[in-house]
């Protein structure tokens, strides 16, 4: 019964290793992107398996998705200022 | 087994359990925005002061942060183990899994405390004792301010989780929950793993930077 969770744990620890490994690679500006990307994959695994989003009822998706939906607005509208303001940082 | 019947407003126990879980998800949605704004702010400044943030990140304790990530990921396994065990009416073993979960959480806080102490020795604690090293400029202090606010808020969430897990472990041991009714454990499991998710993003933002070259 715990096998799927243990497989997920092994993958998550593997991704942690990958994240540590990327720290020592000369990735330049892609560093934050690589680390954030790995965190997104890890979070998706935790949400789907440990938080059982993959199981019914599907209405859980509406509630779980709402937070991330509004986060898009927060990020989207938040970033407009910085993308359009000349000379940031001053 | 007095609590085997649903509360008056629910038709079935399943409906009650489902409602409780959706309630926790609604709360977690607000938490996504809470921590999301914090992490968004971090990345804005990371882009604005890339070089300084890389210099600052070099002093973050990668080994301690990695150990803590592994501890939290493992605690999510023991948490779901507790849920699976109570579903099989194995209350004593479920309680043990919950105690183990709390123990892993306490171990995380212990490592975190040790890390804070090391940070203090390194003079990287804004307000208390902060000294810029060669080539460092004021944005380095911004990085450390984010570090303490974010990890502090996370530790507060984890502390609340540990207390709740310990209470539920005692209740589970005393036989309050069974395969028929164990909604509080499922709901707390959501909260616990969410605190885990938050940490994954904090780890990505704080630790694996400033090592190359």
Confidence of residue B32 (pLDDT cuts 50, 70, 90): very high
Q: Residues of B170-189 as b/e, b for ≥16 C-beta within 10 angstroms?
A: ebbbeebbbeebbbbbbbbb
Phi, psi of A72 (to 5 degrees): -60, -40
What are the CA-CA distances from residue B147 to residues B127, B138, B143 (Å)?
13, 15, 6
B17 touches chain A (CB under 8 A): no
Domain positions in chain B = 17-211
pLDDT of B193 > 90? The answer is yes
- State the pLDDT at residue B1: 47
pLDDT-wise least confident of A1-5, A53-57, B59-63: A53-57
Please name the residues between 127 and 186 in chain B that touch chain A, using a CB distance below 8 Å: none
The ipTM assigned to this model is: 0.92
- List, for residues B106-126, the tens digit of each pLDDT value: 999 999 999 999 999 999 999
- List, for residues A31-44, the tens digit of each pLDDT value: 889 999 999 999 99
Confidence of residue A63 (pLDDT cuts 50, 70, 90): confident
Residues B20-42, mean pLDDT to the nearest whole number: 93
Please name the residues between 48 and 67 in chain A that touch chain B, using a CB distance below 8 Å: 50-51, 57, 59-60, 63-64, 66-67
Fold of B17-211: 1.20.120
pLDDT of B165 > 70? The answer is yes
pTM, two decimal places: 0.93
């Amino acid at each position: 019964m715990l096998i799927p969770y243990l497989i997920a744990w092994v993958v998550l620890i593997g991704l942690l290793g990958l994240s540590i490994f990327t720290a020592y690679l000369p990735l330049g500006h892609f560093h934050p992107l690589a680390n954030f990307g790995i965190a997104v994959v890890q979070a998706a695994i935790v949400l789907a398996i440990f938080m059982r989003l993959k199981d019914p009822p599907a209405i859980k998706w509406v509630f779980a998705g709402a937070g991330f939906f509004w986060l898009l607005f927060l990020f989207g509208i938040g970033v407009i200022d910085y993308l359009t303001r000349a000379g940031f940082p001053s | 087994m007095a609590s085997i019947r649903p509360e008056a407003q629910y038709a079935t126990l399943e409906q009650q359990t489902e409602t409780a879980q959706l309630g926790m998800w609604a709360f977690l949605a607000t938490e996504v925005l809470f921590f999301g704004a914090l992490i968004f702010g971090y990345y804005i400044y990371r882009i604005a002061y890339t070089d300084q943030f890389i210099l600052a990140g070099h002093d973050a304790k990668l080994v301690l942060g990695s150990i803590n990530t592994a501890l939290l990921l493992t605690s999510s396994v023991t948490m779901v183990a507790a849920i699976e065990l109570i579903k099989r009416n194995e209350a004593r073993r479920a309680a043990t899994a919950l105690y183990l979960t709390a123990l892993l959480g306490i171990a995380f806080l212990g490592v975190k405390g040790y890390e804070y102490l090391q940070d203090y020795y390194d003079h990287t604690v804004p307000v208390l004792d902060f000294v810029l090293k060669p080539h460092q400029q004021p944005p380095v202090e911004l990085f450390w301010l984010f570090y303490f606010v974010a990890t502090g808020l996370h530790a507060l969430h984890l502390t609340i989780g540990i207390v709740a897990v310990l209470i539920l472990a005692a209740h589970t041991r005393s036989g309050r929950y069974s395969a028929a009714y164990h909604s509080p454990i499922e709901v707390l499991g959501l909260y616990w793993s969410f605190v885990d998710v938050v940490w994954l993003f904090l780890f990505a933002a704080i630790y694996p930077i400033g090592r190359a070259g």
